[in-house]
Amino acid sequence: MVKKISISKYLAYLFLIVLCVIWAVPVLFGITTSFRSQAEVVSSGFRLLPVNWIMDNYTTILGNTSTAPILRWLMNSLFIATAHTFLVIVVISLTGYGYSRMNFKGRDTLFFTLLGISFFPGVVNLIPSYKIIDALGWVNTAWAMIIPGLAGMGNIFLVRQFMKGIPNELDESARVDGAGDFKIYASVILPLIKPVLIVCGLFSFIGSWNDFLWPVIVYTDVDKMPVTAGLLLLQDIYGNYRMIGQLMGSAILAMIPTFILFLFAQKHFLQSINLNSGIKG
Amino acid sequence: MNKKSFTPYFFVGPHLILFAIFILLPTIYGIYASFTQWNLMNDPVWVGFDNYKTILFNSDSTFYTQFKNGLKNTLLFVVLTVPILIVIPLMIAVALEHKKVKMKGFMQSILYIPGLISISAAALIWSLIFNKQLGITGNIFGSTVAWAANQPYAWITIIVLTIWGGVGGNMIIYRASINGVSKDLYEAAEIDGAGPIRKFSSITLPSIRFPLIYTFVMTTAGAFNVFGQPLMMTDGGPRQSTHVLMMYIRQLAFGHGESIAGMASAMAVLLGLVILVISALQYYVMNRNAS
Amino acid sequence: MKKNVVYSLMLVFLASIMLTACGGGEDKNTITFWTPLTGDDGAYMDQLIKDYNATNPEIKVKHVITADMYTKISTVLNSGKGVPDLAIIHADRVPGFVKQGVLEPMTTVLESQPEINKDNYLPQAWATGTIDGTQYTVPLDIHSNTMYYNKDLLKKYNVESFLDDDVVTIDEMLSLQGKLDEGDYVVNDALLGWVVLAQIQNLGGDIQQDGKPAVNTEAMKQAFTEIKKVADAGLMTPFGEDGYLMFQSGNVFFSTDGTWSSTAHAAVEGLNFDVTNIYSTTADKFTNRASSHLFAMLKNDKRSDEKEQGIGAFLEFIRENSMEWAKAGQIVASKQVIEDPEYSNYMQSFFTSNEKEIESLYIYTYEYYPYVAEAVDTYAADIVRGNVDLDETLQTMQKFVEDKIAEGSKGTE
């Protein structure tokens, strides 16, 4: 018995460590590349660490404050992504509850129809989407970034799937106690799906943070742009990576906030929730 | 009692309105555009089923060959990546769930970081790694092949980039799901003398079946929309063998010449139908097995 | 509890709608100027605009850099709102835009600014904007395919004589076959499509015949055959390798990239390089396939005459003062600038150093050039590397262009 656990422990370690090494090397290589000069990047041979560590890439990025107010962009992104994430959590928890635990006619048909529609790749949809944003007066405002994404089906699907895994006995016993749907939603279901809401929140934040196609279309004001769209302005017209170290540096600067958020979220989406004991209690 | 029949709308209503405005309307327009000849600038001109006829039946047409080749390559990408994007994250989540394993947060972070890096930077990192003179494959493993230009290496570069960047999302969903499984169940199974494999197949898998369905369907749908990875790693080559459908669609709609957006929309609608059929099948099969 | 949730939700939506009610109106006293000039280029343009605004013009210019300008142009033209007053577009977009009726002629601007005329700009840059006798654009620059060479490598192999007549021929390059150290290459495959299109001119061919696309031609076939010789001889950087980076690491004699790369190459320590013409199939002729950044006005009924006057004043300022733009590595289109002795400090002044050089900058003006270029770019690498059959692929390319044209013309008929 004890032996079994130790074998499986070593297997688990072996698997994880091998994977982590494979995953970490490119990340480290990317980070160290941001401290390399172009001459070093293009010199033959693979070196994980730079021969000469230079800060030039970062000073160039951060120094270019007139055309590229990168700190401002970071603040814009922070506002957009936070507002978006907050609203996403409200919308998906309500909607997910509606599609999994309420009974109304055509519920599943409606849900799957919406999901199906959302599977159509939007290519030229850009044009009508822009027209809608324009009609709402949202061009060049943060709302164009915050609101449309709330319509997405992915997170609702995930929340619905999670809620389906919660035993119905829970609602029923609450209902017997005289609770209505809002009460069950708020005090029975919400606490139970907190981990998945945190996961969805994390995904939404990162998704909103990393979106670069849409902000390029809806923003004209450099000062109002989120950071990913702004960083595109630093690349050259031909989309070439003329300065490899700089591109790496800007990518790393842009991911610091999302990484911090991840570290924070990590503590919370693994809260133990014991469904079975919940029923007993 | 009357009140009750309105309550569902409070729950699903707000989203329904958002959906109608920001997804339904644009999608309907996109489908309408697929029946037109349109250059994105002027008003679309109705051409009925012409675009579809060309794409599906006119075997002389460039659009027919592009669609066929693009769909073939996209399907290949889906088949090559989706299973890995399900299995590896699941294995990671199970391994991380092991009671005796330490530094879970640290390892989890490492595996998640690539998902935070922008696709252009990620593609550049891997291009350098696969570069014969500058990278690992040439200098450390002594490979003399130009990976981006030779098969099967071209596909390998694309898949490696995709897996590396894509494992984190599903890993977290599985972590959160497995964490919700009652510890009592495992303890009871251990008392019965169940080994790790039995515990996995008879407790873990059934308990996370609903999230599993979700990841399967959404990962597949996402993979069908692949675009950035082949564009940046191989630019569709060699001989357009990694040229995926979404690349053709975007070239038609947003290429340098006059836009051929009607044809692009028709291809997008057809791709949407393929995604729809496949994900419906997946859901149906998995859901039936689950319940 | 129930009410709280509903109210808070409603509040959020109401707040979001109210907060956005105040949209931005279009400013009468500002020229909104869109450019696709990202990266350092945008900073140089910013400087030019700052200088212009410092002269206190009646109408100031506001520079908006967009990373995906052409998509953005489609969206604003569709919604009819937010169309910029002035934009910079590329030469290959002009015929299409004019045909689609989205460009305003520059007539008023030219009337108010007599110095903005054909004689004061590089001829081909000006001519790309002339369609059926009407002038639609005013040029900022020509940016061209160019060949950088590694001085040290040429010296090492003692072949500096290649440069004597300003044209490196394919035969000269082939003479190096078997003489190179391992890891050294004569030329890379950067912008290979542009190089192919240059050879078509060198061979006396064209990409159109009577307005019909001509891709499957003898000239095209010969262009590919000649370039393929270089690859077959093992002198071209290997397929799938990053030839641009290999040039920067000092292993390649010639890099066929663009005028705009000179600043990037200069940033590589220890790279001793200069610029010359793209290699040619013949010693008699050389061509550098080029494009141009052009000022243009998209159709917009709301653009007032005063604004057009303001645009004229701004363009005249650019004509006189665009030395700053030379820093971006581009060949400035204004003759006043390139004739200034200061301009000769820039590497790209090579391309305006004499008449023959100026003539070598070739801008394709064929209406369907973008489709032809797309076909060439899609298939060039595989042809040159011998992955595909040449004749068969040329047929496919011809069909590729014809099919795309057929789709485009249906709507206008």
Closest alpha carbon to A130 in A23, A252, A236, A220: A220
Model pLDDT for residues B248-290, shown as the tens digit of each residue: 999 999 988 889 999 999 999 999 999 999 999 999 998 887 6
The CA-atom distances, in angstroms, between C33 and each of A146, C62, C78, C89, C249 are 27, 6, 18, 11, 38
| CA A71/CA A79 separation, integer angstroms | 13
Q: Does A71 touch chain C (CB under 8 A)?
A: no
Residue of A nearest to B165 (CA): A23
Question: Given this model, what pLDDT does residue C219 score?
Answer: 95
End-to-end alpha carbon distance in chain B: 32
Chain B residues whose CB is inside 8 A of the A199 CB are 172-173, 176
Phi, psi angle pair for C140, to nearest 5°: -100, -45
Q: How far apart are CA B160 and CA B85, in angstroms?
A: 11
Query: What's the token pair of residue B190?
Result: 């251990």
Q: Which of B110, B185, B261 sits opposite A20 (nearest CB)?
A: B110
Which residues in chain B have their CB less than 8 angstroms from residue A196's CB?
173, 176-177
Rg (CA), chain B: 23
* C266 closest CA partner among A236, A37, A53, A68: A37
Is A52 in CB contact (< 8 Å) with chain C?
Answer: no
Q: Which residue of C has its CA nearest to A44?
A: C249
C169 SS3 class: strand
Q: CA-CA distances (angstroms) from residue C59 to C62, C100, C175?
A: 10, 29, 59
Question: Hey, which CATH number is domain C30-144+290-359, 3.40.190.10, 3.40.50.2300, 3.40.50.300, 3.40.50.150?
Answer: 3.40.190.10
Residue from A36, A40, A41, A42 whose CB has the most chain C CBs within 10 Å, to mutate = A42
- Report CB contact under 8 Å: B12, A244: no
- Give C351's pLDDT tier (boundaries 50, 70, 90): very high
CB contact under 8 A, A182 and C5: yes
Chain C from 53 to 82: CB within 8 A of any B CB: 70-71, 74, 77-78
Q: Is C82 left (phi over 0), alpha (psi -120 to 50) or beta?
A: left
pLDDT for the residue A281: 27
Q: Residue written as tokens 């030379």?
A: C326
By the 10 Å C-beta count (0-12 exposed, 13-18 middle, 19+ buried), B3 is classed as exposed
Taking contacts as CB-CB distances below 8 angstroms, the residues of chain C near B63 are 403, 407
Nearest-neighbour CA in chain A from B136: distance (Å): 6
Q: Rounded to the nearest 5°, which phi and psi values hold at B147?
A: -60, -40
CA–CA min distance B57, chain C (Å): 15
Q: Which amino acid is at A211?
A: D
Neighbours of chain C (3+ CB pairs under 8 A): A, B
For the segment(s) C147-289+366-410, the CATH number from 3.90.1580.10, 3.60.15.30, 3.40.190.10, 1.25.40.10 is 3.40.190.10
Among B147-156, C133-142, C189-198, C213-222, the least confident range:
B147-156
DSSP A60-89: HHHH-TTT--HHHHHHHHHHHHHHHHHHHH
More confident residue, B220 or A43: B220
Q: Is A5 inside a domain boundary?
A: no
Residue by residue, DSSP assigns A93-104 as HHHHHHHHH---
- Calculate how close chain B gets to A257, using CA atoms only, in Å: 10
Instruction: For residues B215-242, give the mean pLDDT.
Output: 92
The residue of chain B with its CA nearest to that of A276 is: B182
Cβ contacts (< 8 Å) between C92 and chain B: which residues?
Answer: 256
Lowest mean pLDDT among A16-25, A146-155, B175-184, C61-70: B175-184
Q: What is the mean pLDDT of residues B116-144?
A: 85
Question: Could you tell me which chain B residue has the CA closest to the CA of A153?
Answer: B19
Which residues does chain C have within 8 Å of residue B45's beta carbon, measured at their own beta carbons?
A: 410-411
Long-range contact set of residues B63-67: C-beta below 8 Å, sequence gap at least 24: B63/B252, B63/B263, B63/B267, B63/C403, B63/C407, B66/B248, B67/B245, B67/B248, B67/B267, B67/B270
Q: Nearest to residue C70, comparing CAs of A241, A216, B168, B28? A: A216
CA of C213 vs chain A CAs: smallest distance (Å): 26
| Residue partners of B153: CB distance under 8 A and separation at least 6 | B130, B145, B146, B147
Nearest CB to A237: which of C21, C39, C264? C39
Query: If you measure CA to CA, which chain A residue comes closest to C250?
Result: A43
Q: Which residue has the higher pLDDT, B108 or A8?
A: B108
Structural domain range at position A151: 62-280
**Whole-angstrom distance, CA of residue C110 vs CA of residue C100:** 22
Contact A12 B177 (CB under 8 A): no
Domain map of chain C by residue range? 30-144+290-359, 147-289+366-410
Amino acid at C249: S
Of B120 and C173, the one with more pLDDT: C173
Residue A236 confidence (pLDDT): 61
Q: What is the CATH number assigned to the segment(s) B19-290?
A: 1.10.3720.10
pLDDT for the residue A275 = 44
Interface test with A, best of B39, B116, B173 (most A CBs within 10 A): B116
Q: How far is C145 from chain A (nearest CA, A)?
A: 13
- Distance of residue C51 Cα from the nearest chain B Cα, in angstroms: 32
Q: Residue B116: is its pLDDT beyond 50?
A: yes
Q: Do C42 and A216 touch (CB under 8 A)?
A: no
**Cβ contacts (< 8 Å) between B47 and chain C: which residues?**
410
Partner-chain contact A143 C37, CB within 8 Å: no
Q: Which phi and psi (to 5°) does residue C191 adopt? A: 45, 45
In a domain, A42, yes or no: no
Question: Nearest residue on chain A to B22, judged by CA atoms?
Answer: A148
Residues in A touching B101 (Cβ below 8 Å) = 9, 12-13, 16
How sure is the predictor about A220, in pLDDT bands with cuts at 50, 70 and 90?
confident
| pLDDT surpassing 80 at residue A279 | no
Distance CA A128, CA C328 (A): 37
- Chain A, residues 116-145, CB within 8 A of chain C, namely 126-127, 130-131, 134, 136-141, 143
Tell me if A124 and B88 make a contact (CB, 8 A cut-off).
Answer: no
| Partner residue opposite A243 with nearest CB, options C8, C42, C264 | C264
Whether A92 has a pLDDT exceeding 70, the answer reads: yes
- Tell which phi-psi region holds residue B217, choosing left (phi > 0), alpha (psi between -120 and 50) or beta: alpha
Q: Is residue C3 less than 8 Å (CB to CB) from chain B?
A: no
Helix (H, G, I), strand (E, B) or coil at B45: strand
Given a cut of 60, is residue A129 above it in pLDDT? Answer: yes
* CB contact burial C348-367 (16+ within 10 A = b; e otherwise): bbbbbeeeebbebbbbbbbb
Q: What is the mean pLDDT of chain A?
A: 85
Q: How many CB atoms lie within 10 A of CB C44?
A: 20
3 state SS of B46? strand
Comparing C26 with C299, which gets the higher pLDDT?
C299
Residue B166 has pLDDT above 80, yes or no: yes
Q: Please give the distance of CA C140 from its chain centroid, rounded to a whole number.
A: 11
Of C96, C240, C410, the CB nearest to B146: C240
Do C249 and A43 make contact, defined as CB atoms within 8 angstroms? yes
Token pair, residue B13, equals 């209503």
pLDDT of amino acid B163: 97
Complex ipTM value: 0.89
Residue C363's region, left for phi above 0, alpha for psi from -120 to 50, else beta, is beta
Closest partner residue to B133 (CB to CB) among C240, C246, C387 is C246
CB contact under 8 A, A8 and B23: no
Look at C13 and C403; give whichever has higher pLDDT: C403
Question: Tens of pLDDT along B21-35?
Answer: 999 999 999 999 999
| Strand boundaries in C130-243, DSSP class E | 130-131, 134-135, 137-144, 147-150, 185-187, 208-209, 212-213
Q: Which residues of C touch B62 (CB under 8 A)?
A: 396, 399-400, 403-404
Of the two residues A136 and A63, the one the predictor is more confident about is: A136
Backbone angles phi, psi at C275, to 5 degrees: -125, 145
Q: Which of B97-106, C114-123, C256-265 has the lowest mean pLDDT?
A: B97-106
Amino acid, single-letter form, for residue C141: D
Per-residue pLDDT, averaged over A160-189, amounts to 87
A-C CB pairs within 8 A amount to 132
Minimal Cβ distance to B14: which of A91, A97, A275: A91
Task: Work out how many domains chain A is built from and give that number.
Answer: 1
Q: What band does C269 get if pLDDT is binned at 50, 70 and 90? A: confident
- Report for A84-93, A223-232, B119-128: range of highest mean pLDDT: A84-93
Chain A residues near residue C34 by CB distance under 8 angstroms: 220
Instruction: Show which subunits contact B, needing at least 3 CB pairs below 8 angstroms.
Output: A, C
Q: Half-sphere exposure of B71 toward its Cβ, with a 13 Å CA cutoff?
A: 17
* pLDDT above 60: residue C8: no
* pLDDT value, residue A150: 95
Predicted pLDDT at C40: 80
**A108-117, C101-110, C300-309, C389-398: least confidently modelled range:** C300-309
Distance from CA of C59 to the nearest CA of A (A): 19
Domain of residue A127, CATH code: 1.10.3720.10
**Nearest CB partner across the interface for A186, out of C5, C81, C251:** C5
Our CA-based measurement puts residue C115 at a distance from the nearest CA of chain B, in whole angstroms, of 32
Q: Is the pLDDT of residue C12 over 60?
A: no
In B, minimum Cα distance to C404 occurs at: B260
In the structure, what pLDDT confidence band is assigned to residue C2 with cuts at 50, 70 and 90? Answer: very low
Write out chain C residues lying below 8 Å of A232, CB-based: 38, 67-68
Q: Is the pLDDT of residue C303 over 80?
A: yes
Cis peptide before B238 (omega within 30 of 0): yes
All structural domains of chain B with their residue ranges: 19-290
Q: What is the pLDDT of residues C87-129, one digit of tens each?
A: 999 999 999 999 989 999 999 999 999 999 999 999 999 999 9
Characterize A239-258 residue by residue with b for buried, 16 or more Cβ atoms within 10 angstroms of its Cβ, and e for exposed: ebbbbbbbbbbbbbbbbebb
Alpha carbons C49 and C46: distance in angstroms, whole number:
5
Residues of chain B with C-beta less than 8 angstroms from the C-beta of A12: 94-96, 98, 100-101
Of A126, A136, A233, the CB nearest to C67: A233
- Check whether C26 has a pLDDT greater than 90: no
Q: What percent of chain C has pLDDT above 70?
A: 92
